[in-house]
Structure 1
Amino acid sequence: MKKYNYFFAVIALLPSTGALAETKLLWGDTHLHTANSPDAFMAGNRTAGPDVAYRYARGEPVIHPYAGNRVQINQPLDFLAVADHAEYLGVFPEVMGGRAEQPEAGLFEKLKSFFYVESIRYFISDPRKGVETFREMIPTNDIQPGDSRDPIATANESGNGKGLESVGLVSKDSAARIIASQWTRSMEVADRYNQPGSFTTLVGWEWSQTASGANLHRVVLSDTDGKTASSFSPIGADVAPYPEQLWDQLAALSASVGANFIAIPHNSNISKGYMFSKTTVAGEPITAEYASKRSRWEPLVEATQIKGDSETHPDLAPDDEFANFERYRFYIQGINPGQTYQVQKGDTVRSALKNGIELEKDTGVNPFKLGMIGSTDAHTSLASAEEPNFWGKMPTDSIPVNKRGPDSGDYANGKTSTNGWTMSASGLAAVWSEDNSREAIIAAMKRRETYATTGPRIGVRFFGGWGYQQEDIQAADLAAVGYAGGVPMGGELASAPTGAAPRFLVAATKGALDHNLDRIQVIKLWLNNDGRAEEKIFNVAWSESVSGERALQLDGKLPAVGNSANIKTGKTANNIGAAQLSALWIDPEFDAGQSSLYYLRVLQIPTVRHSQLDATALGVDTPYEGPATIQERAYTSPIWYSPELASAREDND
């Protein structure tokens, strides 16, 4: 098969007429927890419910639930999903307040219940101990990374994960009644704050499966309204322990209420290899039926959030100079002296995309045709992802002196507890939507016209087609040209014309309150002739350096953009980088017989990390938990090319 060995990249300013505004770019958070989530309550969020979450997201000042100070987002969001854990949603406030019915039990069981309740009350008086106490109440087996055992079955066989009822804290019926009542209240608040065209509240919850310490969590979102959502209960891992069972229940629910649902995996980086494995969680081979079901219900992945970045990992991408970014080394079961963090191929989004095209060759269906978004996973009710205005993962993280515990442990090998400085001030969900409404946003997510950022409001357009020309990047309406001549991010390219290679329009602009951009990269993944996925990174648009032109090196890499961040003041000068970048890029190594996909990674110039801002304020050295400066970024949903799809379309024509 002939390959096309030509390359063209142009660095140019976007027109000032608003080329990125053809469809509406909406910013939001699909993954926020309030006091209704058990771990949030245990960690000090006792007062901030969904109403506080929506008020903060809309730009109103609110009171921090732990620090008690006034806080306010720098730029309001366009949409928000409160995604409290379905398991024991709203139960802890009732149990700790003595309002929950206890199970029928003998004297021993009542004493045990009293002991647990009083112990929890003691520990939650110091919220810094609350989360660890919560973890100890619901123990997990420690399956090692890369283990082939079924983590869910293993946990069940050992008697772990039975829930609060097993320790006498609440009866099963009482827990169900509390969940239903709190869910209804949450949905009423969602409908009250929903203002189509201005601010959208998405119905959502989290399905939280952590059997054997492997994070398999999903956030579920819907385009239904709160009144309809009140007619059903959020589906938790307690009633649907396997992902396939969640998808089946979503299918039944969708048919029952006439609404769309999607499930979004998150924190694959701490899944011990299970999230995007080439087998099911139970270890069974992936079939076409399974792949089709997964692809239907999981069109997106949360690529970045407070518990670290999941795009890739330096051990899996040794040639990627930007792979070592916001790594999170802590499994969800907490400290385990006998276990260190070991990344697996099933842990990263890039590996998932590669596994997907390999599995498609075997089964005919790609189970991991995933678009990308970011979100926070904050448990403070505050959707904060801004480095200088970051209010923490847990409520106690809002205070710098609380950020590091008394025992630092062996941080390099992950043999220590996570703390506030190990967390990332990330991320945001960017959606190209027809309008700001529940229906339009979910529709955009289903077609994967979305992307993730680690916090900045970087505007990104990405189109793929066969006939784009150099002058198209200067078009007054880039989106109109892009849609007319190809497909946007998340789309699939039709058949390749004879002798042609795909052409991509790429454009990025810095956020209004953000810093300049360093570069735009195309990450290409493809299936080689041996059926194995490979990857390559192309720098396709970049800013000039202070001293002048930056040129590609022989290996395709670029000299660093420089660093204008001042770690003493926390300020970054915008005297390097560019406000806007765009390019027409043609794949120089395209082979029409090979499946391939492409996504963009847009890098900002270095800025000061939140941990360094704390360190400067405290008058201490740069915390070892994170670097002094970072390069924030955006990841787009891919554009796919499949020769089988191309052939099928040619036959239909």
Structure 2
Amino acid sequence: MNTLKLARHSLLTIALAAAAAQVAASSEGPTEAAKKYSPPANTTHATNVYWGDSHLHTGLSLDAGLFGNILGPDEAYRLARGEKITASTGIPVQLARPLDWMVVADHSDMMGIATDIKKGTPNILANAKGKEWHDAFKKGGQAAGEAAFDLIQNFSQMTVPKQLVADYSPGSKVFTKVWKEIVDNAELHNEPGLFTAFIGYEWTSVPKGFNLHRNVIFRDNADKALQVDPATTQPPTGSTDPKYLYKWLENYESKTGGRVFAFAHNGNLSNGWMFPTEETYHGGVVDKEYVTQRAKWEPHYEITQIKGDGEAHPTLSPDDDFADYENWAVGNLDLSELKTEKMLAGEYGRSALKLGLQLEKKFGVNPYKFGVGGATDSHTALATADEDNFFGKSTSVEPSADRISHPFIKSDLGEIPGYMLVASGYTGIWAHENTRTALFDAMERKETYATTGPRMTVRFFGGWDFIEKDVHSSDSVAIGYAKGVPMGGDLKQASANAPNFMIQASMDPLSGSLDRVQVIKGWMDAKGETHERVYDVAVSGGRKIDKNGRCKQAVGNTVDLKTATWSNSIGDGQLSTVWTDPDFDAKESAFYYVRVMEIPTPRWVLYDKVRLGAEIPKEAKLVAQERAYTSPIWYSPK
């Protein structure tokens, strides 16, 4: 047989053998090699982190549209996906890196009225107040700004003319049309595996100016989402009571067979109402029904965004050196009432986690057992959370030399100055694929973390049997799931004297290197009193952690105030450890979460000073330490 024939004969023999093997496998089931060789084919472990913004407004929102945003959901999604677009003020804008997913969460109340006021539609002109607003917008300038503020004040105080409320409430032609536009745009831009566009909206409860806003996210597609109109707050069809929203969520799932949940944000502007305990709150009292419903429908909390960071406050956490980050402890949302110290405990995420332990002891249910995320809450349609690419809260404070002089809110009682706006934040979701189903399920099981903008990678597992070499293993993620639970989970039955935690953090290559990794622990003692403690568990630069679990030596500061640049010559690119709780008491309920700190880098106001020549008030901070917060891991003696 010549060489060519021999080669053909060998190939035929191999092909026949392969075919025979396939027949055998199909009749006898997959071989061991087929089951084990390709790990991703045989697991749904969350192997990827997907970055997104869960809270963005377009010009379809009442306030965003009135304050000059002319962009809609289509432009918002195109920017998030990496395209260069033009902002409402005519400035070109693009993200340094595309996002993986996003929720356009336009306000559900008064959908469509902003556009119609500007147009001067017949129903607007037929109403005295509507015509007044239209004429002011037609004049432009200060008159338009005053009209926009007047309309928002009327909305907050529920004094919008009843006929206009009816024209832009659930069931009306305009309301349904705008909701369909929102849903259709999400469907257009949703590409499973490439980009997830969630259907969602914001329920904007603001009684007495106290922020009780919730965002609603659907797991479903248009076929189910369009069977309903969103919940609103204006009577007679809506209500500002959270229990009303929980009922709406329940009715949606019952009617459509779909899935949906809600999450709150900006407790720092709620004057203590966001996380109530035994006290009454707007709408009722904290009872078994309330805690059960909240635990069911709110598995997530937006802990950081443009209107301030909501993790901790120095008054509540005096032993925490980093608790003073971007706090907005001034008053309620419209500054009609100033803040008092007793309100703070009902406003911040860490405090809420502790209050949840007490409520669980009282009612058997923990209503504040939430995972965490970050979002922008931008009203520009631009999901920009990077300090050097910050387009502000609204169109009126998009980049310009004087935007810092524009206060966020000003009243007879005080003001929140413009330089306090925060370039924050994003949510990292651990999931096995980039789809609505996978990302929604991951948020519901709380396998998420928040950052103030940078995209550092953070892994956090809790268990009883981790050893130091696990964190350095090439298979550390599989070990984490096999031996323990990820962020958002509950520690199972104790098999050791104290739980230990496997933690890995890697810097965002486009941001600052890492200063330190901390574990924040909260617990409840036998008397029902709660406590907290901060542990430094991994630090950069060879610094030492003392016997009390703290590193008091600062990492340093390389920021050049003249050029708005910094050097990653300090800090580390990666920090990892296996840490065991040295103060564990098996009889006490507890939670643990990780905070990852970057080295100091410039705030957006410093970029404005250097790039635009902006005059910066001496009170404004020019430098900050960006950070990440993971969802907690809980332990219960039960």
Q: Which residue of 2 aligns with 1:156?
A: none
Q: What TM-score does the superposition give when structure 1 sets the normalisation length?
A: 0.85
Query: Where does structure 1 lack aligned partners over 5 or more consecutive residues?
Result: 1-20, 105-109, 140-159, 645-653
Alpha-carbon distance between aligned partners in 2 of 1:403 and 1:571, rounded to the nearest angstrom: 21
- Report the CA distance between 1:318 and its aligned residue: 1.0
Residues 6-85 of structure 1 mapped to structure 2, 5 A cutoff: 23-45=47-69, 47-65=70-88, 67-85=89-107
**1:138/1:189 Cα in 2 relative to 1: closer, same or farther (>3 Å)?**
closer
**1:598/1:457 Cα in 2 relative to 1: closer, same or farther (>3 Å)?**
same
Taking only the aligned residue pairs, the percentage that are identical comes to 38
Residue from 177, 190, 198 that aligns with 2:194: 198
Query: Which amino acid in 1 is paired with 2:65?
Result: F
**1:126/1:522 Cα in 2 relative to 1: closer, same or farther (>3 Å)?**
farther
Q: Which residue of 1 aligns with 2:21?
A: none
Q: Is residue 401–residue 614 contact of structure 2 (8 Å, CA) maintained in 1?
A: no
Q: Which residue of 1 aligns with 2:22?
A: none
- Report the CA distance between 1:617 and its aligned residue: 3.3
Alpha-carbon distance between aligned partners in 1 of 2:316 and 2:206, rounded to the nearest angstrom: 24
Q: Is residue 44–residue 124 contact of structure 1 (8 Å, CA) maintained in 2?
A: no
Q: Is residue 397–residue 406 contact of structure 2 (8 Å, CA) maintained in 1?
A: no
Alpha-carbon distance between aligned partners in 1 of 2:616 and 2:406, rounded to the nearest angstrom: 17
Does the alignment pair 1:385 with 2:379?
Answer: no
Does the alignment pair 1:537 with 2:554?
Answer: no
Q: Which residue of 2 aligns with 1:177?
A: 173
Q: Is residue 404–residue 421 contact of structure 1 (8 Å, CA) maintained in 2?
A: yes
Alpha-carbon distance between aligned partners in 2 of 1:467 and 1:526, rounded to the nearest angstrom: 22
Alpha-carbon distance between aligned partners in 2 of 1:369 and 1:333, rounded to the nearest angstrom: 25
Does the alignment pair 1:592 with 2:564?
Answer: no
Residue from 212, 217, 224 that aligns with 2:220: 224
Alpha-carbon distance between aligned partners in 2 of 1:371 and 1:92, rounded to the nearest angstrom: 34
- Report the CA distance between 1:420 and its aligned residue: 3.4
Alpha-carbon distance between aligned partners in 1 of 2:176 and 2:504, rounded to the nearest angstrom: 46
Residue from 118, 131, 135 that aligns with 2:135: 118
Q: Which residue of 2 aligns with 1:558?
A: 552
**1:512/1:130 Cα in 2 relative to 1: closer, same or farther (>3 Å)?**
farther
Q: Which residue of 2 aligns with 1:480?
A: 478
Residues 96-175 of structure 1 mapped to structure 2, 5 A cutoff: 96-99=118-121, 101-102=123-124, 110-122=127-139, 129=146, 132-139=149-156, 160-165=157-162, 171=167
Alpha-carbon distance between aligned partners in 1 of 2:136 and 2:171, rounded to the nearest angstrom: 20
Q: Which residue of 2 aligns with 1:275?
A: 274
Query: Which amino acid in 1 is paired with 2:637?
Result: P
Partner deviation per Cα, 1:334-377 (whole Å, 9 max, x = no partner): 354x7356552100001110000011111111111011000000
Residues 181-580 of structure 1 mapped to structure 2, 5 A cutoff: 181-238=177-234, 239-279=238-278, 281-282=281-282, 284-331=284-331, 333-336=333-336, 339-340=338-339, 342=341, 343-405=343-405, 415-497=413-495, 499-544=496-541, 549-552=543-546, 556-580=550-574
Q: Which residue of 2 aligns with 1:9?
A: none
- Report the CA distance between 1:549 and its aligned residue: 3.6
User: Helix, strand or coil: the match of 2:528?
Assistant: coil
| Larger CA Rg, structure 1 vs 2 | 2
Q: Is residue 490–residue 633 contact of structure 2 (8 Å, CA) maintained in 1?
A: yes
- Please, which moves more after superposition, 262-271 or 617-626? 617-626
Q: What TM-score does the superposition give when structure 2 sets the normalisation length?
A: 0.87
- Report the CA distance between 1:456 and its aligned residue: 0.2
Alpha-carbon distance between aligned partners in 2 of 1:273 and 1:173, rounded to the nearest angstrom: 29
Query: Which amino acid in 2 is paired with 1:326?
Result: E
- Report the CA distance between 1:138 and its aligned residue: 3.0
**1:126/1:555 Cα in 2 relative to 1: closer, same or farther (>3 Å)?**
farther
Larger RCO (CA under 8 A, 6+ residues apart): 1
User: Helix, strand or coil: the match of 1:443?
Assistant: helix
Q: Is residue 376–residue 424 contact of structure 2 (8 Å, CA) maintained in 1?
A: yes
Aligned pairs, number: 590
Residue from 631, 639, 642 that aligns with 2:636: 642
Q: Is residue 166–residue 172 contact of structure 2 (8 Å, CA) maintained in 1?
A: no
**1:492/1:252 Cα in 2 relative to 1: closer, same or farther (>3 Å)?**
same
- Report the CA distance between 1:598 and its aligned residue: 0.1
**1:131/1:392 Cα in 2 relative to 1: closer, same or farther (>3 Å)?**
farther
- Report the CA distance between 1:326 and its aligned residue: 0.7
**1:586/1:131 Cα in 2 relative to 1: closer, same or farther (>3 Å)?**
farther
Query: Which amino acid in 1 is paired with 2:51?
Result: W
Q: Which residue of 2 aligns with 1:6?
A: none
- Report the CA distance between 1:174 and its aligned residue: 9.7
**1:325/1:103 Cα in 2 relative to 1: closer, same or farther (>3 Å)?**
same
- Please, which moves more after superposition, 117-126 or 611-620? 117-126
Query: Where does structure 2 lack aligned partners over 5 or more consecutive residues?
Result: 1-44
Alpha-carbon distance between aligned partners in 1 of 2:190 and 2:227, rounded to the nearest angstrom: 18
Superposed CA RMSD = 2.5
- Report the CA distance between 1:399 and its aligned residue: 2.7
Partner deviation per Cα, 1:283-320 (whole Å, 9 max, x = no partner): 75433332221111000100000000000111111111
- Report the CA distance between 1:113 and its aligned residue: 3.9
